Structure 1
Amino acid sequence: MNSRPRTPEDPQGEDSFFDRRYWPASETGLRHRLFRLLFHHESRGERNFDLALIVAILASVLVVLLDSEPGIKVRWHLPLYVAEWTFTLLFAVEYAVRAWVLRRPFRYVVSFLGVVDLLAILPTFLSLLFPSTVSLTVVRILRLLRIFRILKLVKYSDEAGLLILALIRSRRKILIFVTTLLTIAVIFGALMYAVEGAEHGFDSIPTGMYWAVVTMATVGYGDISPGTPLGRFLTSALIIIGYSIIVVPTGIYSAELARSMRTQGKLKLRCTQCSLGEHDDDAWFCRKCGSALPTHP
């Protein structure tokens, strides 16, 4: 059975975009037209509005970046300040209209996209009360997350979900790996603190742990280095350990990613005889017991 999109007229559909947060407050009139303009991207006018919104977002970010440069700020502070408030007021109006045209505006306000929209306008208003928050206006770049929805990059969203799924599946192995690294860092940090001491910069065990992490990561800033033969021997051993284990998280994640990719094209159909799930999308029979699957697309 093919899936159908969920719409206000058909709330039982399967398109997650049209959940209850995005039901229009009216089926006709101005609120319905504004709903189509703000939340849909099918017609030419709706796509043009989305493109204009992207341009406004990029321009507002550029204004914030230019205003952070001292030389530019001295000469162009007033025009940049006016532009910043112009963009903020435009985004505030858009935020209010988005909430107004929805049947359940509170669900939009507390949703991820609603919070992102609020963060795009809130810092500028806070700067009136707390001047130190002016730099927070750069969070408006979070609004660029809408690009994935506007351009309907579904396949990229699916791939992002696949990467996240593989990361979640490998979280326990990665946690054990990180715990092992921290243990090694504590051991070698304590050894270097005892061997080298404050004379060579190892004035505490946390400092030795910092050096151990930098050494294992093969970064080697050089701000702290051993000065004794035993310390250099420990350093050489830690470098070898670092090169040996640096590929471990990559292997763990790659294995889980390959596993997720293998099961990506499988349906969550469960055999009624042996209860085996995740069959191939072209399977008619269970791969374990040979029984006919209950349904097939």
Structure 2
Amino acid sequence: MAINDRHISSKWRRKIHEVIYEADTPAGKFFDIILLVVIIISLILVMVESVPAYGTKYADEFIIAEWIITIFFTIEYILRVISINKPTKYIFSFYGMIDLLSTIPLYLTFFFGGLNALLAVRSLRLLRVFRILKVTRYIGEADKLSKAIRSSGPKIAVFLFAVLVVSIIMGTLMYLVEGPESGFVSIPVSIYWCIVTLTTVGFGDIAPVTPLGQFLATLIMIMGYGIIAVPTGIVSAEYSQSNKENNAPQNDPEYRHVNTQNCQNCHSQKHQDGAAFCHQCGYSLDE
């Protein structure tokens, strides 16, 4: 009887895992749609609740709606944990942490009291905005963009260092040319002005008045337009290269499409269609 009970339990856990983690099945797609709708509703409630007129008038309704949504996410989180053989693989993963952050704010409010209770509750409830990150797991192109940004990291770091060097040099020059009389009271303040001007933000709190200073400011502003395009070009190139690498194997007769199947044992993803075992731990995908 015990063996039969374990078998039934295993079947239910696998069924739950299939619905929650895999989007290739009808049940999985339906669950994903429901979850996306709840996330969107939750985000709308957070934004509308911040409007004083609505937040005060419908305070009780907002609390009830938030409790319903929080309970839904709590059940989802628990099911995600219990449906995996190694729960820590999910709990300490990126999406596991995001799911936890989107679930606990309302519960944490129970532990705050005293004069600052209202402020603490309001701050904690704003953590619900992290639920928008839950959406990224359902956007197929998000992985490609994330990979492109990671690949561009070293190049962008070098570029930012070059921008910092230019800002220091130009900021120091502006301090020497303009001086405290024009608002450039120190080199750090001048560097701040240079960065603001270089990024085309232009707060207008500090402005050069001498002809030479205005000439240098003009050069900085022109450089700013070119600087904006550099990171975009770097990431775009990496994204395009990633697309080429992903599309090239499809011409190979031995190429096999990667699906959304998720290993119930180690939480690994990106398994090939028809794969019987996990490519990471060797756990059976068909049990």
Secondary structure (helix, strand or coil) at the match of 2:207 reads coil
Tell me the equivalent position of 2:132: 141
Runs of 4+ in structure 1 displaced over 6 angstroms?
Answer: none
Whole-angstrom distance in 1 between the partners of 2:19 and 2:237: 44
Tell me the equivalent position of 2:162: 180
Q: Is the 8 A contact 1:116 1:143 kept in 2?
A: yes
**AA partner of residue 93 (structure 1):** I
Matched, 1:221 2:203: yes
Tell me the equivalent position of 1:88: 70
Tell me the equivalent position of 1:54: 36
Question: Residues 164-209 of structure 1, C-alpha deviation per residue, up to 9 Å, x if partnerless?
Answer: 4444444443333222211111112122223223332222222211
Question: Residues 70-110 of structure 1, C-alpha deviation per residue, up to 9 Å, x if partnerless?
Answer: 11011000110111112112211221122123222222212
**AA partner of residue 81 (structure 1):** I
Whole-angstrom distance in 2 between the partners of 1:141 and 1:105: 23
Whole-angstrom distance in 2 between the partners of 1:166 and 1:226: 40
What's the Cα RMSD here? 3.0
Following superposition, the deviation at residue 251 of structure 1 comes to 4.5
Q: 1:34 to 1:70 in 2, by over 3 A?
A: same
Number of residue-to-residue matches in the alignment = 238
Between structure 1 and structure 2, the one with the greater Rg is: 1
Whole-angstrom distance in 2 between the partners of 1:46 and 1:257: 29
Q: Is the 8 A contact 1:64 1:84 kept in 2?
A: no
Q: 1:75 to 1:253 in 2, by over 3 A?
A: closer
Unpaired stretches in structure 1, ≥5 consecutive residues: 1-23, 268-279, 283-297
Whole-angstrom distance in 1 between the partners of 2:226 and 2:33: 49
- Name which structure has the greater RCO, CA cutoff 8 Å, separation 6+: 2
**AA partner of residue 210 (structure 2):** T
1:253-272 to 2 correspondences below 5 Å: 253-266=235-248
The structure 1 residue matched to 2:101, chosen from 107, 119, 125, is 119
Unpaired stretches in structure 2, ≥5 consecutive residues: 1-6, 113-119, 254-287
1:95-244 to 2 correspondences below 5 Å: 95-130=77-112, 131=120, 132-148=123-139, 153=140, 156-157=141-142, 160-161=143-144, 163-244=145-226
Question: Residues 144-179 of structure 1, C-alpha deviation per residue, up to 9 Å, x if partnerless?
Answer: 22423xxxx3xx25xx42x44444444443333222
Q: 1:242 to 1:73 in 2, by over 3 A?
A: closer
TM-score scaled to structure 1, two decimals? Answer: 0.68
TM-score scaled to structure 2, two decimals? Answer: 0.70
User: Which structure has more helix as a fraction of its residues?
Assistant: 2
Q: 1:246 to 1:76 in 2, by over 3 A?
A: closer
Following superposition, the deviation at residue 248 of structure 1 comes to 3.9
Q: Is the 8 A contact 1:95 1:117 kept in 2?
A: yes
